Amino acid sequence: MSVIEPHGAPAITCLHADDSLLVLVKPAGLLCVPGRGADKQDCLSARAQQRWPGALVVHRLDMATSGLVLMARSAGVQRALSQAFAERHVEKRYQAVVQGCMAAPAGGAWGSIDLPIAADWERRPLRVVDAAHGKPSQTRWRVLGHDAAAQTTRLELEPVTGRTHQLRVHLAALGHPILGDALYADAATAARTPRLLLHATRLAFAHPESGAWVQYALPADF
Active site residues: 62
Element (H, E) at 109: none
Cα separation, 153 vs 143, in Å, equals: 7
Cα separation, 21 vs 78, in Å, equals: 9
Cα separation, 135 vs 117, in Å, equals: 5
- What string of H, E and C letters represents the secondary structure of 17-59? ECCCEEEEEECCCCECCCCCCHHHCCEHHHHHHHHCCCCEECC
Residues 197, 180 contacting (CB under 8 angstroms): yes
Q: Which of 204, 201, 206, 200 is nearest to 20 (CA)?
A: 206
Residues 220, 17 contacting (CB under 8 angstroms): no
Residue 42's Cβ-count burial label (10 Å; 0-12, 13-18, 19+) is: middle
